[in-house]
Each structure stands twice: as structure tokens, then as C-alpha cells.
Amino acid sequence: MKVNATHRLVGNDNRQMAYDETPNGGGGLYGGVPRFLIIHYTAGASGSGTVSWFNNPAAKASAHLVVDHNGAITQMMSFDRIAWHAGRSSWKGVDGLNSHSVGIEIANWGLLHGAHGAWRSWTGTIVPDSRVVLRRHKNFEPSRINAWEIFDEDQIDATVAAAAAIVSRYGIPEENVLGHDDIAPIRKQDPGPAFDLNAFRAKVFGRAEDFGTTMRVHSATGLNLRKGPGTTFAAIVSLPDGTLVAPMGSDGGWVEVTTLNAVGQHDKTGWVHGNWLV
């Protein structure tokens, strides 16, 4: 993907992405180009539903891009104009990020409520366990674990490709790729801990992942593989010293890993503390 001269997203074949301009926004960005890229989740069921909502003046909200579960992208504002995605926000002396940034909304319910087998979105929609992860949010009380809907691989890949085109076109530095929960931490929790922003930045800027492809347990007494990121979660199994694992994500000092069997295939998945991985 790339950004053309009219500040619209196009494919490598120069065909423009779907464009459905929202009435919610307008006016030029400060300085004419974005300095920041802000990632959001929609708190909705689908990207198409969010596009419809952003086309309603009553919404008083919008974004530059909406990414659906299947990776389909709809652009709703050119990247040189203001969309209403950040609201009251601030980052390192810059206030009102709407005037300085591009916003990408990813279709995802986000924070869920309920319990195993009965997770629900804020609307009451049932979300199956297979689409749920239990993780801490960096802005919540440290001992609090919440349920979050996972992001789909297709939409992550599409968001990475779009973000890479945007940061390249406008020279946005890695440290200016942020979550809504960074710039409005009291009000907002998106994209939340189910979205690994560090891994996302690494992919956008063409770096290797923060963790290597393989790590090894370094603990003479073994290491508990747990169901969640903390000692309050039950142990699945004790991993012997030297066990090979593939890191999948992180939550503070805890690392989500998949164990590797003798032929390098993925086996069990769970959480271990990073202090005992090398």
C-alpha cells in the first residue's frame, strides 16, 4: 500500500481503497500533515457498522480508516484533514490530537464482561471463549484482569500495511504511533492489551519482533506455565529447565509462550515470567 498525492490510501496497483467520506470532521491538520498515528478499537461488531455510524452526524465521531475483521479497509477522510477520533487528548505537550493525527479504527468489541462461557460485549452480544483473552490493562489497577476480544490476523496484517504506508509518506516516527489509551488514559482503554502495540510498531517499521523466534527456560527447578499473566492463575504444567518456547506476546514482566516439541512444532500455550527465559 501507499498514500497518493491526494492523501488517500491506494494498493500497490494504484487502485484506491474504498472511500466513504464522513460528514464528521473536516478542516486541515495543523501544519497540513499528520505527526501522529493513533490506533483504536471500534467497540462494535463490524467495520461496516462503524462506517455507517461515522456517516451519521449524530455520532459526532469519525476516523480516517476503518478496518473490518476480514482486513477490508474503508477510508473516511483524507489524511491531511481532521477526523474526530481522539477527543480530549494530550501527548508530551501536544493537546487535542485530532488536529495532529491520523486515526485508525479496528473492528473489535474490546473490553468484555461476564465469565467463561458467557462473555458479553457492552451491548450484550455473546463473544465465544475462542475469541477472548484475559489480560491486564496498563491504565487499570495492577491486580485487575479483564476479558478482551482478540484481533483477527487479517485485520492486523491490513492495519500494519496501511500504517506502514502512512508513516512512510508523512515521516511519522515510531514513538508517535500510539494507542487511544496513551493519549486519553483517564477516558479511554482502546486498543487495549489484546492489541500488542510494541509488536505492531515493530512490524510497521520493519524491525524484528521484540522477542526472538525461540527462547529457552532457564530455571533449575522448572517454570510454571500458567493460564494467565500472574501467580494467581493456575499452573498448566511445570516446564523443565531447557524447554524451548516461542514468545507470542507480553503483559508487564509476563510473557505468553507456546512450548515447542522435539521437532519444533507448537504444543501448549500459556504464560511464564520473563525473568526465567533466555
Report, as residue numbers or ranges, the catalytic residues. Answer: 105
Which residues, 6+ apart, have CB-to-CB distance to 224 below 8 Å? 235, 236, 237, 238, 239, 272
Residue listed under C-alpha cell 489509551: 181
Tell me the CA distances in angstroms from 83 to 87, 101, 107, 172, one per residue in order: 10, 8, 17, 17
Residue among 19, 17, 24, 87 nearest 53 (CA)? 24
How far, in Å, CA of 171 to CA of 175, rounded? 12
Angle subtended by helix axes 197-204 and 153-170, to nearest 10: 60
How far, in Å, CA of 264 to CA of 270, rounded? 17
